[in-house]
Structure 1
Amino acid sequence: MRLSIFTRLALLAPAVLIFAQDPALEVPLGLLPIRFPKDNPYTPAKRELGRLLYYDKRLSADGTVSCATCHDPKAGFTDGKAVSDGIRGQKGGRSAPTVFNRAYSLNQFWDGRAASLEEQAAGPMANPIEMGNTHDVVVSTLRGIPGYRARFKEVFGSEEFGLSEVTKAIATYERIVLSGNSPYDRYKAGNKKAMTAAQIRGMDVYFTQAKCDQCHEGINLTTNAYHNLGVGMDKASPDEGRFAVTKNPADWGAFKTPTLREIARTAPYMHDGSLATLEDVVEYYDKGGIANKNLDERIKPLKLTAAQKKDLVEFLKALSGEGWQSKLVPPTAFPQ
């Protein structure tokens, strides 16, 4: 399986390659070892602190929303909704992307506005629609909990922690949310019985007729690039996507290509959650998207047969894997 230029660049970025005797770092078939930033090295205690913070609703202004509210393991580390619910029932503007395999990602969010998982973790806390808090209040709340002060001291050496330590812990936990060893991975490794006949036919459609691998390739089945697929471009005020970050006209209406791993678990699809099923996604691509001033040149009618569409969906189901189910159990109690 070839690696995209984006994946290769990510692997060459300053980081520490971890080989630790920790079951949480076991990498499933098809993936590469996890790399942790030099300024945020891995420890089991930091991972556990991050797990607690990830599920703790006390990080939100009214104690009703946690990271897991929108990125729930039971919903494929999304929330199963077109757009997410924040505090006081407020609705966000985009669908919650999955946390699966974020260790192999570059910039975060649909528009890539966060350069790292650490930076991404800070965003929702202070977003008035999501967790509705301020960073200062998040830190003061956690400092006011003796159990958290003890854990931060164990991990970072001081009870006088700040936002940086909070986000580093959360990001450490998120980096171990891995999915690999899918039927596709096993098939590629030589087990020709790992996929069904329909999935094997669908794989041929994926690579040959539909050419999905132009954007969904490499170990994480994404180039980490941004494309205008036409999604939502028929609305009165389309989401500007990456353009809002870069102000580059070429990025207008473009959104980050997501991983296809565990795609069968992470409905609904697209940045606005407008496509409910994998069948809907295949139909959307087959018709060639929605025309607009910046539609990616690769988005053209595919003219797939009904059988090819069905087989392609079956192949996408073969991208669901293992590595996260037994390790990522929500806490039963939080520090007091």
Structure 2
Amino acid sequence: MTFTTRALIEPLALAILILGITNIHAQDFASLPKTASLPGDTQEKIELGKKLFFDPRLSSTGTVSCNTCHNVMEGGDDGRATSMGVDGLTGPRNAPTVWNSAFQASQFWDGRAATLEEQAKGPMVADVEMGMLAHDQVIRRIEDIPGYIREFQSVYGKDSEVTIENAVDAIAAFERVLITPNSPLDRYLAGDKDAMSPAQIRGMQLFESTGCTECHSGPALNGWQPDGEAEFAHFPRIPESDYVTKYDLIADLGRSNASGDPADDHHYKTPTLRNITLTAPYFHNGRVSSLSEACRLMAATQLDVELSESEVADLTAFMEALEGEFPELSFPRLPSRSGESVIRASAGKPRRDES
């Protein structure tokens, strides 16, 4: 760490010791809400959304579901640098976790989707993800399964049609229950001073005093606040850093690919740090495999700070305190057509055009 930063921290640390204040640095954090569901998110709608989330028949080959890249049995991602979709194709970016995605003001690394519902539409028709040609094709798949028609009518009304809007509405309802409250940090913020270890508390204090909370603050440690505007951070801020070349951080233009505005070059949505210990590899290109290296990289490229080994250890200890309690999830029973498939085949190979 630079001399200037240390000169600021040491007097503050002395004041904390003298005054006996143990949570002064927790002011930039907040407990994760224990629910994110909306009034219309009935249990029946959530169960329908879960089925759609897990159903690979919504992809062109019948092999890729939402859960393929956002595995809720793990960290809500897929553990790959970049995700693999239909036909073994891979995309250019790392899959963000779906856990606590309700606590984000925008979705995707470049924030091109404002809501969970809008985000759910994208992968279905992305050729390197689920590979469907159009949302109408997705709906035809669903309508080919009588059990789904009955469930849609039960949730959305007897006379309602199966629509892409209703499908993603149900998926979003399911995703809103994917939250992980009651982490050691949450318990510490609630007054349990034994919830975090001394190393975790030191890491929390260092996290704030070094400047990490400029972006990583609030309940999800991503700057999100209820009803807040979507914000995007410049990354990397210090392109001269050796880490930029080592991990090829500027090949992707970031948000400007979606907005078309050159001023958005190398701007990204700030990712949540909740459960960050479970979602390696890191960053938009998935090039960094360890959390300790990610801490060094962020300090160097964003704050022009060189961390000592003990500081890295404390920061990673703090991030271990961000792992929350995962809700119990049961596998859904998907509606089926025994002996029949909705995946059309030609010459032994699935084809995407079902018109």
TM-score range with shorter-chain normalisation? 0.7 to 0.9
* Counterpart secondary structure, 1:219: coil
2:242 is the alignment partner of 1:239: no
Q: Name the residue aligned to 2:310.
A: 307
Aligned residue in 1 for 2:206? 205
Instruction: Name the counterpart of 1:22.
Output: none
TM-score by length of 2: 0.79
What is the deviation of 1:255?
1.0
Q: Is the 8 A contact 1:2 1:218 kept in 2?
A: no
Within 5 Å, which residues of 2 pair with 1:274-285? Answer: 274-285=287-298
SS at match of 1:316: helix
Instruction: Find out whether 1:58 has 2:61 as its counterpart.
Output: no
- Is the alpha carbon distance of 1:214 and 1:125 closer, same or farther for their aligned partners in structure 2, counting shifts above 3 Å? same
Q: Render the CA deviation track for 1:119-176: whole Å, top value 9, x for unaligned.
A: 1101000001100012111101111101101100000114621111111010110011
Q: What is the rounded CA distance, in whole Å, between the counterparts of 1:199 and 1:223 in structure 2?
A: 21
**Matched residues in 2 for 1:152 and 1:79: separation?**
29
% same residue: 41
Counterparts of 1:133-282 in structure 2, within 5 Å, are 133=132, 134-157=134-157, 158=159, 160-208=161-209, 210-224=210-224, 225-230=231-236, 234=245, 235=248, 238-282=251-295
Separation (CA, whole Å) in 1 of partners of 2:331 and 2:76:
12
Mark the CA change 1:237 to 1:179 in structure 2 (over 3 Å): closer, same or farther.
Answer: closer
Separation in 1, partners of 2:324, 2:249? 39
Deviations 1:192-221 (A, max 9, x none): 11111111111111111x221110111111
Do structure 1's residue 321 and structure 2's residue 324 form an aligned pair? yes
- Please give the alpha-carbon distance, in whole angstroms, between the structure 2 residues aligned to 1:203 and 1:81: 28
* Structure with the greater alpha carbon radius of gyration: 2
SS at match of 2:257: helix
Runs of 4+ aligned residues of structure 1 deviating over 4 Å after TM superposition are: 1-4
Deviations 1:257-303, CA, capped at 9 Å, x for gaps: 011111111111111111111111012123x22xxxxxxxxx23223
Structure-2 residue corresponding to 1:91: 90
Aligned length: 296
Gap runs ≥5 in structure 1 = 8-28, 290-298
Question: What is the CA–CA distance in structure 2 between the aligned matches of 1:255 and 1:233, rounded to whole Å?
Answer: 15
Name the CA distance, whole Å, in 2 between partners of 1:84 and 1:33.
29
Match of 1:20 in 2: none
Q: Give 2:16's aligned residue.
A: none
Unaligned runs of 5+ in 2: 1-25, 225-230, 337-355
What is the root-mean-square deviation in Å for CA atoms of aligned residues?
2.1
2-structure distance, mates of 1:120, 1:236: 24
Contact 1:243 / 1:250 at 8 angstroms: preserved in 2?
yes
